[in-house]
Structure 1
């Protein structure tokens, strides 16, 4: 899959999705080759921002225990991947009209946070408003990725109510998990 196809996936239910389904990456492969390396990016960037930008990013930011915080964040991200795969499978198969197997549910759970993980690169810039804007945009792209991924992986290409409802529930669970991760990060 080329980069242009991957960039179109959040905005189209045809681009790239069928190619991924045909590849059928295993859950272990997704965890090892996608989730593990990409989930390292936010803790590394947060550690960098905390130790290099410090209070320039936000008052009180420099005094935190960044090694502890980033380790907890990394472990929580890995746990969230496994929980979200289960949530996607449960929510989608709980509808009467949609179905998804575990492999496709975990494929979506691995792909959905990619924009959020990549958005952590903005922590190189010590600007809180810019960081917040980029993260909110990444959250929107992640939500779109879930919607179009469900359309593609469940074989429902039309904009039907079941796909939208499942997307909203999954997005809500994802935003809740993301909020818990952020609360854990700021609590310490």
Structure 2
């Protein structure tokens, strides 16, 4: 798959989505080859930032138990993938006008957090403001990925309002999960 197709996924429902759908990656392949390596980025980079920048990054940032926090964060990210795949399938199939199979639901669950995982690379720069802005932009891109992914991957699609409704429900659950993950980081 071309890099240009990957970059267009959050912008359009046509470019790249059909190619991904034709490849039909299995759920274990998505988990092992995409989710596992990409979900390692935030904990590793957060551990680096926490142990190297300390209080220069944020007050009280250096005094935390980063091994414990990042381990819990990593395990929570993996669990979130499986829960979100199930949630996408359940929410979309609850609508009478939409339908998605488990494989496409988990494909979308694997692709949606990619911008947020990628934005964690900016933790190499000790700027809290830059990292907050990057994560918020990445969250917006993830929401856009969900919307355009539903448009492309749903088997029956009659109305974009129904697709938007399903997207809002999934986004709300995703933002709640993201908030809980960030709460883990800030609580410890």
Same fold (TM over 0.5): yes
Contact 2:91 2:169 in 1 (8 A): yes
Contact 1:119 1:134 in 2 (8 A): yes
In 2: Cα distance, 1:159 partner to 1:9 partner: 20
Partner of 2:44: 44
- Alpha-carbon distance, 1:31 to partner: 0.1
Partner of 2:101: 101
Partner of 1:34: 34
Partner of 1:79: 79
> Once structures 1 and 2 are overlaid, which stretch shifts more, 21-30 or 150-159?
150-159
State the Cα deviation string for residues 22-67 of structure 1 (Å, max 9, x = none): 0000000000000000000000000000011111110100000000
Contact 1:116 1:139 in 2 (8 A): yes
Secondary structure, counterpart of 1:79 in structure 2:
helix
State the Cα deviation string for residues 106-137 of structure 1 (Å, max 9, x = none): 00000000000000001111111111000000
In 2: Cα distance, 1:155 partner to 1:168 partner: 19
Partner of 1:23: 23
Does residue 144 in structure 1 map to residue 127 in structure 2?
A: no
Partner of 1:117: 117
- Alpha-carbon distance, 1:185 to partner: 1.3
RMSD: 1.1
Does residue 126 in structure 1 map to residue 126 in structure 2?
A: yes
Using a 3 Å threshold, how does the CA distance of structure 1 residues 159 and 94 change in structure 2: closer, same or farther?
Answer: closer
In 1: Cα distance, 2:159 partner to 2:124 partner: 38
In 2: Cα distance, 1:157 partner to 1:111 partner: 20
In 2: Cα distance, 1:53 partner to 1:115 partner: 24
State the Cα deviation string for residues 53-88 of structure 1 (Å, max 9, x = none): 111110100000000000000000000000000000
In 2: Cα distance, 1:116 partner to 1:143 partner: 11
Partner of 1:5: 5
In 1: Cα distance, 2:158 partner to 2:68 partner: 46
Structure 1 stretches of 5 or more lacking a match? Answer: none
In 1: Cα distance, 2:156 partner to 2:147 partner: 11
Contact 1:156 1:163 in 2 (8 A): no
TM-score, normalization by structure 2: 0.98
Does residue 176 in structure 1 map to residue 176 in structure 2?
A: yes
In 2: Cα distance, 1:159 partner to 1:47 partner: 44
- Alpha-carbon distance, 1:157 to partner: 7.0
Structure 2 stretches of 5 or more lacking a match? Answer: none
